[in-house]
Amino acid sequence: AQKVTQAQTEISVVEKEDVTLDCVYETRDTTYYLFWYKQPPSGELVFLIRRNSFDEQNEISGRYSWNFQKSTSSFNFTITASQVVDSAVYFCALMNRDDKIIFGKGTRLHILP
Amino acid sequence: DGGITQSPKYLFRKEGQNVTLSCEQNLNHDAMYWYRQDPGQGLRLIYYSQIVNDFQKGDIAEGYSVSREKKESFPLTVTSAQKNPTAFYLCASSGPQRSSYEQYFGPGTRLTVT
């Protein structure tokens, strides 16, 4: 079965704190892709990152970083020094060979000023 | 500017009417997708198309229909057979071909049926 679990439904942190959004996935395929998307209040999903199953190197992009660990089937997302503009719903997603993306239910992140 | 457009942003219809949601992309992407999002939920796939004149059902296709006559366009019709049509509808595209897998999304259409 293919599944993406984002156990944190909602998180609130004070601005400038670091925050980690968890993502656990299930798949039987050896080749797959993982994604993170941001959905601000406007509703449009914004692509943040793609990772393929053969590349476990962690990635950093500005204040964003991603930790991919195949041993625990996790692909966690950390925002460092959070800002109010980071407030959004964040989705983790999985794609197998059939080209269909399965989304988690999302984590709503509130950054409090 | 390249991107995906969906119109209108808000749509209101009476129960029993069919309604067509527009999705156009100028990214030269081969694949296009329709998702439905309900409050507090993730995205669920309705239909997808990987090439012109071909499309496949997603997880919740019942009550919906699509066409793909042009590469740039993938309209979704919500029929009167859809029991709970009120939702936020998102269109996405990816490509070209299999060079990239991430999907890019339009701004969405919020459909309200009363």
Whether B2 shows a pLDDT value over 80: the answer reads no
Q: What percent of chain A has pLDDT over 90?
A: 75
Mean pLDDT score, B60-78: 97
Q: Mean pLDDT across chain A, nearest whole number? A: 93
CB pair distance less than 8 Å for B42 and A91: yes
Average pLDDT over residues B95-105: 72
Closest by Cβ to B42, choosing from A46, A47, A103: A103
User: What Å distances lie between residue B83 and A17, B17, B18, B28, B110, CA to CA?
Assistant: 44, 12, 12, 34, 16
Relative to beta strand B10-13, strand B109-113 is: parallel
Tell whether the model's pLDDT for residue B99 goes beyond 60.
Answer: no
Cβ-Cβ contacts under 8 Å for A34 (sequence gap 6 or more): A23, A25, A50, A51, A52, A53, A68, A75, A92, A93, A94, A95
The Cα of A19 is separated from the nearest Cα of chain B by a number of Å equal to 21
pLDDT at position A105 over 70 = yes
Region A62-88: mean pLDDT is 96
Q: Identify the band that residue A80 occupies on the pLDDT scale cut at 50, 70 and 90.
A: very high
Q: What is residue A56's predicted lDDT score, i.e. its pLDDT?
A: 83
Per-residue pLDDT, B100: 59
Q: Is residue A63 within 8 Å of residue A11, measured between CB atoms?
A: no
Average pLDDT, chain B: 91
Confidence band for B101, pLDDT divided at 50, 70 and 90 = confident
- From B85, B76, B65, select the one nearest B14 (Cα to Cα): B85
Tell me what pLDDT residue A68 has: 95
Q: What is the mean pLDDT of residues A38-45?
A: 92
Task: Give the gap in angstroms from C-alpha A23 to the nearest C-alpha of chain B.
Answer: 13
pLDDT score of B97 more than 60: no
Check CB contact of A101 with chain B, cutoff 8 Å. Answer: yes
Are A34 and A51 spatial neighbours (Cβ–Cβ below 8 Å)?
A: yes
Segment B90-102 shows an average pLDDT of: 76
Res. A106: pLDDT tops 70: yes
**Residue B95, pLDDT score:** 80
Kindly determine whether residue B106 and residue A43, on different chains, have CB atoms separated by under 8 Å.
no
Closest CA to A77 of A27, A35, A29: A35
Per-residue pLDDT reduced to its tens digit, B12-45? 999 999 999 999 999 999 999 999 999 878 899 9
Q: How far is CA A3 from the centre of its chain?
A: 14
